[in-house]
Amino acid sequence: MPFLASLSAEQQQALQQDITETVSWALSEDLGAKTGCEPNASDDITAALIPAENTAVATVISRDECIISGLAWVNEVFKQLDASTGLNTEITWFVNDGEHVKANTTLFEISGNARTILTGERTALNFLQTLSGTASLTSTYMSALENTTTQLLDTRKTLPGLRSAQKYAVLCGGGYNHRIGLFDAFLIKENHIAACGGIANAVATAKNNHPNKKVEVEVESLDELTQALEAGSDIIMLDNFTPEMIDQAVALSNGKAKLEVSGNMTLEKLTTYAKAGVDYISVGALTKHLNAVDLSMRFK
């Protein structure tokens, strides 16, 4: 899994913890585990129709052309189910995260206890189809930025509970991550500015409170852009600027701050805005308008 390996040790540790917790939550949702209790595979009343000693081999196929993301989540599903049953499930992957596959490609083979495979099927595929959908849409948007230096960013408009998972999937699709949450960078928006008494005061307070964190300010006019530049903002988000305004913004900034374009972003607009010379384009659609990939599991 090259994308996991590319993360720092600290990032890998944080992501793995999130994977463990998210998968446990998802299995509990399916198995009806009570709060504070570990999910128990024996609570799958349909799988219990199968003799406990039965084993099986199954393959999972993608019915769609896509970019793959989510191997670690699938592995974790069966790791936790195995811990619950004391049995052993083996998964053989034929693809990697970030890999482009054609329709009807076999993604992995799974073997082990038949009950366990069926109990984990939907939870595992839910993660894989959703994250691969995120990665695939990101890749589509990235294609519109070829031969430019503009970076495609995600946003916090993620599915609840899947923040780090979807941001990982964006990396698999070739995109980049904006801030993870409300704790790791400032994004001072219209209401923050109003409550703080202006852009200058908001930026000054941010730099005083957390001098080592990036300060980004969202602006809605060229006048606000000038204020944000004078205040020493690190990044300035141009919200719903027209192409003409963006050209003026690039000239006004002249490298004093990084510029990000956001707001009602479509594929058609990406190339135009990138050619204007902005540093970043953020797109909420990457994580909220995705189409899950069509996956199918079949027993041999």
Please write the tens of the pLDDT for every residue from 28-68.
999 987 766 788 888 899 999 999 999 999 999 999 999 99
**Catalytic positions, please?**
122, 157, 189, 218, 239
- The answer to whether residue 3 scores a pLDDT higher than 70 is no
| Residue in 212, 257, 211 with CA at minimum distance from that of residue 238 | 257
Q: What is the pLDDT of residue 6?
A: 66
* Beta-sheet strand order (sheet of 215-219): 151-153, 280-282, 258-262, 235-239, 215-219, 186-188
Residue 111, strand partner residues: 57, 90
Encoded amino acid at 214, one letter: K
- The answer to whether residue 170 scores a pLDDT higher than 90 is yes
Distance CA 226, CA 54 (A): 70
Q: Average pLDDT for residues 117-137, to the nearest whole number?
A: 98
DSSP calls for 59-84: EEEESS-EE---HHHHHHHHHHHHHH
Q: Average pLDDT, whole number, for the chain?
A: 93
Chain center to CA of 217: 23
Distance CA 275, CA 24 (A): 45
Q: Which residue has the tokens 């607009």?
A: 269
DSSP calls for 175-241: -B---SSSSSSEEE-HHHHHHHTSHHHHHHHHHHH-TTS-EEEEESSHHHHHHHHHHT-SEEEEET-
- The answer to whether residue 2 scores a pLDDT higher than 60 is no
Q: Tell me the whole-structure pTM to 2 decimals.
A: 0.93
Q: What is the pLDDT of residue 4?
A: 66
Please write the tens of the pLDDT for every residue from 210-252.
999 999 999 999 999 999 999 999 999 999 898 899 999 999 9
Q: What is the pLDDT of residue 205?
A: 97
Whether 291 contacts 271, CB under 8 Å: no
Residue 119, strand partner residues: none
Q: What is the separation, in whole angstroms, between the first and last Cα of the chain?
A: 26
Q: What does the CA dihedral 160, 161, 167, 172 come to, rounded to 10 degrees?
A: -110
